[in-house]
Amino acid sequence: MHTPRDETQFGFSPGSGGGSGAGEGVRPSVEGDARLPPVPSLGTPSTHALARTAPERGACAGIRPQDPEVDAREVRDTPPDLDHWQSRLDHLRAAHQVPGASLAILTGGRIHPLVSGVLHRGTATPVTPGSVFQLGSLAKVYTATLIMRLVDSGELALGTRVVDVLPEFATADSDITGLVTIRQLLSHTSGLACGLLHDSGRGDDCLARSVEACRSLAPDRRPGTAVSYSDTGYVLLGRIAEVITGTTWDRALRERLLSPLGLDHTMTLPEEALRFPVAMGHADGGPGKGPVPVPHWDPAPRSLGPAARVIATAADLAGLARMHLDGGTAPGGARVMSVDAVAAMQHRETGVPDQWTVGADGWGLGWTLYDWDGIPGYGHDGSAAGQWAFLRVVPETGVAVVLLTNGGRARRLADALLGEILEELCGVLLPEPFAPPADPPAVDLAPLVGTYRRAGAVITVTAEGGRGRLVHDPADPTPDCRVPRELELIPVSGTVFAGSGGADEDEWLPVVFTRLPDGSRCLYIGMRAANRSP
């Protein structure tokens, strides 16, 4: 039994707007760029260069609780115009060549599912509300919620070191091994490498064996010095849940979270998905072919589950969001989590230098945090084997929107459709999709040139004739870090660049250069930090 050692248990003040002690230190700066001010706190209007300028919202402003003319509860109980959103889903899905999509809109405490297209272009099987999709990295929200349930019950503490629960845990740097805490794993500030693609088999001991594989993994940096997206951290959290509960992560998730919430269309193992209509991922088929089914439905090892494998319907994912919006209660009123645990997950632990890859303003304990022109939100994205999943939650209006897709230009579909829904229901204006300006600024690339390294990748930045170029050499790529081998770097500002070179010429990859608190240079690509070699 691991009992919390501090009286506050969650180590934060629920009403505060800043980060917790260690979290506030994890804020690398984006240097030399007056257009990109320091990362704002959650709830503070975002003014970064690529945010859409907010016009007068007109009717949309009426749904905000602070508007004295409108009772927010009445607005929340007004169902959305489902015929309209079905039409928009059908139109935008086809326009962005997405084979199939499942949408769920949660408002007024009720979940409204809509579907469009097919599960598999080869079979033309239609998407239904009961169809399940792979959620990819959205699995991290499930694992984080499970861990917070254990903290809630006093079985675990956020400040507990990993080695106190997993004495066998070790990395290639013994000085760092003993410093990593549960809180840092949840907030991606542990310094551990982003990917641990160790196939430890299909047995119930797969997570335990993956922990053993960490011994050969060198940390990218000291814990608490930078935010950097880490699948490894969530694999460790899955194993921690197993040790505390005495069962597998899969079973613990079912017993402690899915079953109490009645989420019977959510699972963690591929063989469990066969009970339902299953979406097949699609990849770019080349000029004139459109999306084609991927050769393998889910090639990831079982041990990656806590970081990247939950399979669900859009409605079930909205059901998880509803529990968080309802302060930790299940339908019917049964308490699943305390109000403080729910709030702790949404509390800002760290800012993020890369505000564009997933539209993040900061990171909580599992949640990606957003600041939409002063309207706070949270959510997460996920991708797996040609499928993309998106969740956006606006707590002040009680609205959550889920979009699950199986290929095509899924992110463009999400930008357009979720943008329309959130503007209509919440008055939220999402930033425009990331792209370089029509007239890129002149930038001196010399200070940024060099070789940047993180576990599993070597990234080389060069400049010839004033044009920047990035070469990404993935020694051990992870499913969520699909970066083209070479990118032309087009300046957005002095330290932010749009990478061009992917299959979709309209998709731009953010490349962000920063300095860490110790003054060393760092490059972010795919929300993962790489340190510049001396």
Is 251 in a helix, a strand, or coil? Answer: helix
216-231 burial, b if ≥16 CB within 10 A, otherwise e? ebebbbbbbbbbbbbb
- Which among 20, 41, 116, 137 is annotated as catalytic? 137
- Is 476 within 8 Å of 455 (Cβ atoms)? yes
Helices (DSSP H) in 314-456: which residue ranges? 314-325, 339-346, 410-426
What is the Cα–Cα distance from 300 to 305, expressed in whole angstroms? Answer: 8
What is the Cα–Cα distance from 350 to 366, expressed in whole angstroms? Answer: 12
- In the chain the first and final C-alpha atoms are separated, in Å, by 44
Tokens of 116: 């469009």
Tokens of 484: 């083209």
- Is 236 within 8 Å of 211 (Cβ atoms)? yes
Q: If you count them, how many residues does the chain have?
A: 534
Crossing angle, helix 339-346 and helix 139-152, to 10 degrees? 140
What is the Cα–Cα distance from 59 to 39, expressed in whole angstroms? Answer: 30
What is the Cα–Cα distance from 12 to 23, expressed in whole angstroms? Answer: 11
What is the Cα–Cα distance from 144 to 98, expressed in whole angstroms? Answer: 30
137 is catalytic: yes
Residues recognised as catalytic: 137
